[in-house]
C-alpha cells in the first residue's frame, strides 16, 4: 500500500505534460514526413528540410516544457510541491517511451538478424525501423543522409543505433527547458506590449 502511494506520487501530474510532448512529437513527425516526401529527389534539400523539421520539433518541445517548469516553480514557491531538478528529464523519458522501445527493438532485432541470419528477426527489424521512422519522421532526411545504402554485417547493427541516438536531443532540450522555465529564464527576451 505504501509502495503504491510512492509510485503514484512519483508520476503525479505527469500525464498532461507527457501528452503535450507526445502530441508535439506527432506534429513534428507529420511535418517531417511531408517535407521528406516532397524533397526526396534532392539529398541536400531533403537533409535541409529535415533539419528544419527537427528544429521546429525541438522548439515545440522546449516551449511546452518551459511552461511546465514555470508552473511547477509557482507550485514549489507556494508550498504545494517539492522541488525536483530532474522533473524535465523524467517527463521527457516518459514522453519518449515509445521512441526508446522502438529504437531498442530495432537494434536488438537487427543484431539478431545480422548475426544469426534468421528471417523473422530481419523482418521484425524492418518493421520496427519503419515504425520508428514514422514516429520520428522529422529525422527521416537526416537518417537518409547519415546511413549509406547496402550496409553489411556490423555496419548494419551500428547504423540501427541511430534510432536511439536521435532521442538524445529531445531529452537534452526537455531537461534544459524545464530548468529554464523553473528559473523563469528565457532564451529570447520577452517582448513588452505597447500600450
12-45 pLDDT per residue, tens: 556 788 899 999 999 999 999 999 889 888 889 9
For residue 29, being part of any structural domain is answered with yes
For residue 21, being part of any structural domain is answered with yes
Please give the DSSP secondary-structure letter assigned to residue 138.
G
Residue 179 binned pLDDT confidence (cut-offs 50, 70, 90): very high
Q: Which residues contact 182 (CB under 8 A, 6 or more apart)?
A: 69, 70, 72, 73
Task: Please write the tens of the pLDDT for every residue from 44-78.
Answer: 999 999 999 999 999 999 999 999 999 989 888 88
**Domain residue limits at 119:** 14-182
Return d(Cα 33, Cα 127) in angstroms, integer: 17
Across 163-178, average pLDDT: 94
For residue 190, being part of any structural domain is answered with no
Task: Please write the tens of the pLDDT for every residue from 76-118.
Answer: 888 888 888 889 999 999 999 999 999 999 999 988 988 888 8
pTM to 2 decimal places: 0.82
Across 109-133, average pLDDT: 89
Return d(Cα 137, Cα 131) in angstroms, integer: 9
For residue 188, being part of any structural domain is answered with no
User: Cα angle at 168 between 122 and 149, to 5 degrees?
Assistant: 40
Return d(Cα 174, Cα 133) in angstroms, integer: 21
For residue 38, being part of any structural domain is answered with yes
For residue 78, being part of any structural domain is answered with yes
For residue 4, being part of any structural domain is answered with no
Q: Worst-scoring range by mean pLDDT, 23-27, 125-129, 144-148, 165-169?
A: 144-148
For residue 68, being part of any structural domain is answered with yes
Residue 4 binned pLDDT confidence (cut-offs 50, 70, 90): low
Structural domains of the chain, count: 1
Amino acid at each position: 500500500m505504501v509502495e503504491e502511494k510512492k509510485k503514484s506520487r512519483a508520476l503525479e501530474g505527469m500525464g498532461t505534460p507527457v501528452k503535450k510532448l507526445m502530441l508535439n512529437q506527432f506534429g513534428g513527425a507529420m511535418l517531417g514526413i511531408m517535407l521528406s516526401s516532397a524533397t526526396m529527389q534532392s539529398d541536400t534539400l531533403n537533409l535541409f528540410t529535415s533539419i528544419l523539421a527537427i528544429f521546429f520539433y525541438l522548439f515545440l518541445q522546449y516551449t511546452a516544457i518551459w511552461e511546465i517548469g514555470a508552473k511547477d516553480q509557482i507550485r514549489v514557491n507556494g508550498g504545494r510541491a517539492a522541488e525536483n531538478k530532474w522533473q524535465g528529464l523524467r517527463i521527457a523519458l516518459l514522453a519518449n517511451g515509445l521512441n526508446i522501445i522502438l529504437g531498442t527493438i530495432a537494434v536488438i532485432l537487427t543484431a539478431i538478424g545480422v548475426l544469426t541470419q534468421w528471417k523473422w528477426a530481419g523482418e521484425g527489424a524492418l518493421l520496427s525501423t519503419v515504425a520508428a521512422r514514422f514516429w520520428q519522421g522529422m529525422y527521416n532526411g537526416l537518417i537518409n543522409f547519415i546511413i549509406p545504402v547496402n550496409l553489411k554485417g556490423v555496419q548494419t547493427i551500428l547504423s540501427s543505433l541511430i534510432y536511439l541516438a536521435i532521442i538524445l536531443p529531445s531529452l537534452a532540450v526537455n531537461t534544459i527547458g524545464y530548468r529554464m522555465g523553473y528559473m523563469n529564464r528565457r532564451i529570447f527576451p520577452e517582448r513588452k506590449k505597447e500600450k
